[in-house]
Amino acid sequence: MKYKHLFFDLDHTLWDFDTNAKLTLQTLYKTLDLEERGIDDFERFYRQYLQHNMKLWERYRNGFIKQAELRVKRMQLSLLDFKIGDEQLAQEMSRLFLEMLPTRNTLFPYAKEILDYLTAKNYQLHLITNGFEEVQHHKISHSKINHYFNKVITSEGSNSLKPHKAIFDFALNATGAKKEESIMLGDDLEADIIGAANAGLDQVYINHVNKAPEFKATYTVYSLKELEHIF
């Protein structure tokens, strides 16, 4: 068995962020009467949120903004797309969103089955996530997958972020794993795959959305079930 330690990403890899975010925003849309406030098209609002969130996370990973700014600004910008400049509303939406989101438990198809499969084969499973410490622990707890993972490495806990080498080095030290027996599994080409490669780790690109990759990972799969062909 070449690998002993499998380091998973969480959001967009195992935990279906887009679906869970949409369900949470739909709840906020109703409870905060956002239609009455001028957001007449929820689907457009949701698409705008995803775009802003993705861009702001990229800025956060690269050190241009702080955690608190990311959390509120994604709501502020989404509201401004509908000409709503209500900072208090953005703050309230951010607070409620972060309360509700981690209680959602939609995983990608075959997530628990593949974790069972890998556990049964005696792989040591861990998480490396750029998400916030408390939020990520709530997500895995509500999704009932916390018992699969020996170590959960977050950006807050490691004081670093993927794709920077420091978070991968931190994870190896925290788990006692050697590079040659470790592999990173994730959906984000820059953060998970290129980041792991630069840290000297093999990688599995979990390409749920069938993107044309600009970097050749050690392995590429298009569903979690396909991991059975590697491990």
Domain end among 103, 122, 144: 103
Q: Are both 121 and 198 inside the same structural domain? A: yes
pLDDT recorded at residue 21: 94
Total domains in the fold of the chain: 2
Beta bridge partners of 220: 205
- For residue range 106-125, what is the model confidence (pLDDT) as tens digits? 999 999 999 999 999 999 99
Q: Are both 94 and 123 inside the same structural domain? A: no
- For residue range 14-30, what is the model confidence (pLDDT) as tens digits? 999 999 999 999 999 99
Tokens 């792989």 belong to residue: 123
Residue 214, pLDDT > 90, answer no
Domain boundaries, position 194: 5-16+107-229
What CA–CA distances, in Å, run from 16 to 69, 136, 143, 161, 209?
Answer: 23, 13, 11, 20, 12
Q: What is the C-alpha to C-alpha distance for residues 149 and 134, in angstroms, rounded to an integer?
A: 16
pLDDT recorded at residue 204: 98
Helix (H) or strand (E) holding 126: strand 124-129
- For residue range 51-103, what is the model confidence (pLDDT) as tens digits? 999 999 989 988 899 889 999 999 999 999 999 999 999 999 999 999 999 99
Question: Residues of the chain with pLDDT > 90: what percent?
Answer: 91
Q: What is the CATH number of the domain that holds 132?
A: 3.40.50.1000
Residue 152, pLDDT > 90, answer yes
- Residue whose C-alpha is closest to residue 16's, from 230, 223, 193, 226: 223
Reading phi first (left if > 0) and then psi (alpha if -120 to 50, else beta), residue 78 is in alpha
Q: What is the CATH number of the domain that holds 26?
A: 1.10.150.240
